[in-house]
Amino acid sequence: MGRVGLVTDARYRQHDTGYGHPECAERCDAVVQALQASGVFGRLTRIEAREATQAELELCHTASYMELVRHEHALGCEQLSTGDTPLSPETLTAATLAAGGAMRAVDAVIEGEVSSAFCLVRPPGHHAEADRGMGFCLYNNVALAARYSQRTHGLTRVAIIDWDVHHGNGTQAIFWNDPSVHFFSTHQAPWYPGTGAADESGGPAAPGATLNRPFPAGAGRHDILGAFEQDLAAALDAFQPEMLFISAGFDSRRDDPLGGFCAHRSGLRRPHAGGPPPR
């Protein structure tokens, strides 16, 4: 395993979702504190975020949707009209930095600066569709990064793996009919946002490019890892992606207030036999 990159920026903290909101700035602090406590933080290669351009956001979003976002943000709306997504004065900057930060991670991996990268960005993205933000998400960061890897770096086959407890409806919708992007999701069902049934498997031009594995509340490591080891492994063997993107929502952990899965943090860790994490 080579060097691991970390994208983060103090401005992600400034996206203010209001008192008591689960998608809060303290999430970033908790991750950084855990990385520091484990001794991993100092070994990470810091990758500086940048703001995505309008043209880059249009890789996945409609111009009319972005106009709506700018208009409602300028009006001082506290919620986006298309879905339950809080807005605050610094939200637009944070959101364009979140998308652009993920694109910088793509650059760093493809240029060989790091072998993988973790994007500690907010607001999150996987519920955002081409013309509709929802579920705390404004722009679909992972979808934008995947499309950016294709348009800017010429990749032809990429895969997006979503282990958030919620279905990544936005990511699925954006690539529904696109055979160049494989989308795999494990999620709780029935649960928000209601999509992600096992028979949702891609549009007419991309049959099988979407692979959904819904599980009932109470599912844990055995169920979720089973889907990864069997279904995902077989799909990736056949698809041979050039880059993997992970929608790493950690609300699939036990006791998360927004989900009913029972995964323990050891179930989310790369398997290795004890000792310090691999370098």
Q: Which is nearer to Zn ion, 5 or 125 (CB)?
A: 125
CB of 234 to Zn ion, least distance (A): 26
Q: CA-to-CA distance for 252 and 47, rounded, in angstroms?
A: 27
* Residue 42 vs 257, nearer CB to Zn ion: 257
**How deeply is 201 buried, as exposed, middle or buried, from its count of CB atoms within 10 A (0-12, 13-18, 19+)?**
middle
Write down the catalytic residue from 127, 167, 182, 187.
127
Dist CA 22 CA 176 (whole Å) = 29
Pick between residue 72 and residue 164 the one whose CB is nearest to Zn ion: 164
Known catalytic membership, residue 264:
no
Q: How far is the CB of 83 from Zn ion (least distance, A)?
A: 14
By CB under 5 A, tell whether 249 contacts Zn ion: yes
Pick from 251, 261, 262, 263 the residue near Zn ion by CB under 5 A: 251
Q: In what order do the strands lie in the sheet with 181-188?
A: 210-215, 181-188, 158-162, 243-247
Whether the CA torsion 69, 16, 248, 200 is positive or negative: it is negative
Cβ–Cβ < 8 Å for 100, 49:
yes
Q: Which stretch binds Zn ion (CB under 5 A): 22-30, 36-44, 156-164, 204-212?
A: 156-164
Residue nearest to Zn ion (CB): 166
Binding Zn ion (rule: CB under 5 A), the pick from 164, 173, 181, 189 is 164
Query: What is the spatial distance between Cα 247 and Cα 253, in angstroms, rounded to a whole number?
Result: 14
Task: For residue 214, state whether it binds Zn ion (rule: CB under 5 A).
Answer: no
Would you give the distance in Å from CA 162 to the centre of its chain? 7
CB-CB neighbours of 265 under 10 Å: 10
The residues, ordered by sequence, that sit 6+ positions from 14 with a Cβ below 8 Å of its Cβ are 25, 88, 90, 93, 94
Q: Report, in Å, the least distance between residue 23 CB and Zn ion.
A: 9
Q: 15 or 166, CB closer to Zn ion? A: 166
Determine the interface stretch with Zn ion among 26-34, 59-67, 198-206, 250-258 (rule: CB under 5 A).
Answer: 250-258
Asked if residue 150 lies in contact with residue 179, where contact means CB atoms within 8 angstroms, the answer is no
Using CB under 5 A, which of the segments 148-156, 218-226, 236-244, 245-253 binds Zn ion?
245-253
Residues 6+ apart with CB under 8 A from 206: 175, 176, 177, 178, 179
| Residue 92 beta carbon to Zn ion: minimum distance, rounded to whole angstroms | 22
Q: Cβ closer to Zn ion: 5 or 259?
A: 259
At closest approach, how far in Å is the CB of 187 from Zn ion?
A: 8
187 touches Zn ion (CB under 5 A):
no
Q: Which residues are catalytic?
A: 127
Contact positions vs Zn ion (CB under 5 A): 164, 166, 249, 251
